[in-house]
Structure 1
Amino acid sequence: MNAIAGLDLGTSNCGVGIMQEGQPRLLTLPEHGAFMPSTLYAARSEVIAGWLYRQLKAQGREAAFQQARGNSLSASLHALSEAKLDGYEDELFFGRAALSHYLEDPSDCYYIRSHKSFLGGSGLSDRQQQVLEDITAAMLWHLLGQIQQAGHGEVRKLVVGRPINFQGFNSERSNQQATDIIRRAARHVGIEQLEFQYEPMAAGLTFQQQLTEEKRVMVVDIGGGTTDISMVLMGPGYLDRHAPENTVLGHSGKRIGGNDFDVALNYRALMPSLGMGLADEKGRTLPSQPFHDAAAVNNLSAQTRFYSTQHRNELQALQRQPTLKPLSRLLTLQANQMTFQQSAVAEQAKIALSSQAETRADLSYIEAGLEAKVSQGQFVDASQALMKQIGGLIDDALEQAGTTPDVVFLTGGSASSPHIRQALSDRFVAEMVQGDNFGSVTTGLALWADRIFN
């Protein structure tokens, strides 16, 4: 039995949407529940292609992938065998299982979170793009397997959500690069027909089902990696009578999302506990660059700098000064490759602040008993620059539309932040509607897959 599906290959979480009895539904993934965190764990990055080849070969689908990888596949298969001989896992892990394996020994593994953030990155070498393609294909393979385990057959036709822009700079080239990577990955795992739909449009399709009259709707989709703003005409039956692109009055998007709020909160509220803001013996405040690089887990260049030998040597020299002893904590973060772990702590603090004024972040993985107090005020201060950029995206969409919204429809993981909701409420007199922050896009993708493939 072949099936069709909508897939939200999200920056923070992945979800699958299917149609059941004429209605779009979130599929419960047997190993993950409604959503799978967008994480992957491997013993080494070079084993990923070999693992994927092994899965494809078991179903007789390895030929095209083998041809595409050429000699590099032999090296990957050798690395996979060596990893097993050395006592490492020769399997990949996804979602929460990936995080659990990573936390067992962060310094001795390959762990990636939010790989979608890198797909449109400028300056990626062919090899880097190939690694991202393999990661994407591995995640798709796993998710397609989850659909089968849930009893919905093999998926050969798929709609994947995409942001309006994967990156802010040179967006046309960035978007082409990112979608090409996803297309190639999908072909590797057996997808015969792949279509993309803009994530805010997909969220709007779900909301549109509730309307009884035409409305000008501003869809504000603040996801894990991107923010997309769309001004759309919606109404009852529009999905059947109008192509979505013909109802768009204006849209804008940029790579600003929940991950960036995590980075900002990490830098503002957690990094002072690791030495940020201290002064050396001559009264000079420490440079902020190492702390920013440590927090910026969604920036490959920043992470490369932070883990460099040069950074380590500079930090070791500085922490010998009596006033800079707390820098040993930053060195511990670096030596044990804990930046993703700290980012997850910042994310949990952000989530806690959506329902309380203050929380405490447990940093005992760095030093026994270490914690940081995190407040709503710190989150507001940390997110000012990001909110200004989101305001600019709204201005752009409004200018294109030449009108104001009747309804503001909020969706995306960061849409639950009271600070963000309040900022939008202060700006618009329109009705404010809170969608399913995580499921609106996914169910909308299922609706669109049903529309174009059936």
Structure 2
Amino acid sequence: MPSALYAMARELITEQVSHKLIFDRDAFIASRKPQLQMALRARSELDLHADDDVMFVGHAAFKEYFADPEEGYFVKSPKSFLGASGLRPEFVGFFEDIVTAMMQTIKHRAEVSAGDTLTQTVIGRPVNFQGLNSEQSNRQALSILETAARRSGFKDIEFQYEPIAAGLSFERQLTEDKTVLVVDIGGGTSDCAMVRMGPDHIQKADRAADFLAHTGERVGGNDLDIRLATESLMPLFGMNAALKSGKPMPTKTFIDAVSTNDVSALTRFSSLETGLYLEQLQRDCAEPELIGRLLRLRKNKQNQQLVRHAEEAKISLSDAEITSVNLEFVEKSLSTDINRAELADAIERPLEKIIALMKEAKDQAGVSPDLIFVTGGSAKSPVITNAVENVFGEVPLFDGDHFGSVVSGLTEWAQRIYR
């Protein structure tokens, strides 16, 4: 299930959370009174009835957003924002509501499947939610996650590092003891752990001594998608176009347009000031029709959709040397081809950060890995696996269930601690 949420109006997220709260509902409603009043106003303005679906999670969120990007509120990979520095209390509260809404949905689906009420959970967490002020960032993000879990009805809540969870899943395959470098490339973060694994370790009640090192940073699949959108798609919207003055085209606004994991960038791109700036830029550009496309993209709020197409191109290039990106949602007959070499060039900088995390984990542990296990959605790309092999040479490289390894390991950890 993709980590995405769409609501007909932003305040309706808070409203939906309040309807499903398990405990402390009165206190929550009191703390969210302005938002709930705005939700009532939104229902009236949108002519929504009490039984209308107003919030969607996962694939349904993308479907609703693509059908009507100009309206509603869409968020992808909210975990990327949870550790952001300098958040005002109202933003922290709103992120709590987004995460609670998603947890409530997941918990309900799991309970329907299990035929039972669930009160215990293990939540995967990156090593660091943010690179800057990591300790403060981690405390903030974990507090948001724990608050959301309790509001969803979980009583026992534990956290486990995602690369360690992925390693626990992989360990079942080992027939002899190995020192394994686990690399988990998630949507918003990448994490590495150096772990002793194998038959002599798997049954230990306390694995603390087996975890030799762990590193992590807020760089992941979303960053790769954004870089690919910037380098391969934004030129269609005027980036790199010539100005009539002969000066180079400023790139900041083009980067803001696709920086879908950066609240500040999205706010700047949506501002009135940026709209006026782009209108002037269109007059100054030697190819004004390209800036016109960007203005339409901005007006129709299709920048998330553009990055989604970059993500789909990245996925396609895992199996093909070249792929075509259809952008007719912006303009009839608009499309472009992207090849694997262009992908490699576009993601070079974030990929360097991921490789640096791997090297740091090796240095922290003071030993070299016997093998490397790579997981996470983006880990399927040959561009990434080739980069890893180029750095670590002859060390055998394995990949697993790109989307299920972490969850499988978290499940195994839950079985151990909740017996």
Fold shared per TM-score above 0.5: yes
Q: Which of 193, 196, 199 is equivalent to 2:162?
A: 199
Check whether the contact 1:80–1:90 (CA below 8 A) recurs between aligned residues.
no
Deviation (angstroms), 1:245: 2.6
Quote the sequence identity (%).
Answer: 40
Amino acid at match of 2:282: Q
Take 2:363 and 2:114, find their aligned partners in 1: how far apart are those partners? Answer: 47
Residue of structure 1 in register with 2:35 after alignment = 76
Deviation (angstroms), 1:220: 1.0
Amino acid at match of 2:30: G
Residue of structure 2 in register with 1:4 after alignment = none
Q: Which of 323, 328, 333 is equivalent to 1:369?
A: 333
1:332-358, Cα deviation, whole Å (9 max, x unpaired) = 111011111011100000001111111
Take 1:97 and 1:207, find their aligned partners in 2: how far apart are those partners? Answer: 31
1:264 aligns with 2:227: yes
Amino acid at match of 1:130: G
| Paired residues for 1:53-452 under 5 Å | 53-56=18-21, 61-62=22-23, 64-73=24-33, 75-85=34-44, 86-88=46-48, 91-236=54-199, 238-321=201-284, 323-428=287-392, 429-452=394-417
1:248-294, Cα deviation, whole Å (9 max, x unpaired) = 11111111100000000000000001111011111112100011001
Check whether the contact 1:279–1:324 (CA below 8 A) recurs between aligned residues.
no
SS, match of residue 369 in structure 2: coil
Check whether the contact 2:188–2:219 (CA below 8 A) recurs between aligned residues.
yes
Residue of structure 2 in register with 1:453 after alignment = 418
CA distance 1:228–1:82, shift in 2 (3 Å):
same
Check whether the contact 2:128–2:216 (CA below 8 A) recurs between aligned residues.
yes
Take 1:372 and 1:69, find their aligned partners in 2: how far apart are those partners? Answer: 49
Residue of structure 2 in register with 1:28 after alignment = none
SS, match of residue 144 in structure 2: helix
Amino acid at match of 2:297: L
Deviation (angstroms), 1:240: 2.3
Check whether the contact 1:51–1:90 (CA below 8 A) recurs between aligned residues.
no
Q: Give the unaligned 5+ runs of structure 1.
A: 1-35
The runs of at least 4 consecutive aligned structure 1 residues that moved more than 4 Å come to: none
CA distance 1:37–1:444, shift in 2 (3 Å):
same
CA distance 1:152–1:203, shift in 2 (3 Å):
farther
Check whether the contact 1:51–1:77 (CA below 8 A) recurs between aligned residues.
no
Deviation (angstroms), 1:375: 1.3
SS, match of residue 356 in structure 1: coil
Q: Give the unaligned 5+ runs of structure 2.
A: none
Deviation (angstroms), 1:229: 1.1
Check whether the contact 1:39–1:113 (CA below 8 A) recurs between aligned residues.
yes
Check whether the contact 1:219–1:232 (CA below 8 A) recurs between aligned residues.
yes
| Residues 423-432 or 275-284, more deviating | 423-432
CA RMSD of aligned residues (A): 1.4
Amino acid at match of 1:325: E
Residue of structure 2 in register with 1:29 after alignment = none
CA distance 1:339–1:159, shift in 2 (3 Å):
same
1:68-111, Cα deviation, whole Å (9 max, x unpaired) = 452533x3333333333322455311111111111222111111
Amino acid at match of 2:41: E
More strand by share: 1
SS, match of residue 366 in structure 1: coil
Take 2:31 and 2:210, find their aligned partners in 1: how far apart are those partners? Answer: 48
Q: Which structure is richer in relative contact order (CA contacts within 8 A, separation 6 or more)? A: 1
Take 1:237 and 1:154, find their aligned partners in 2: how far apart are those partners? Answer: 36
1:280-330, Cα deviation, whole Å (9 max, x unpaired) = 111112100011001110011111111111111011122134532210011
Take 1:211 and 1:38, find their aligned partners in 2: how far apart are those partners? Answer: 31
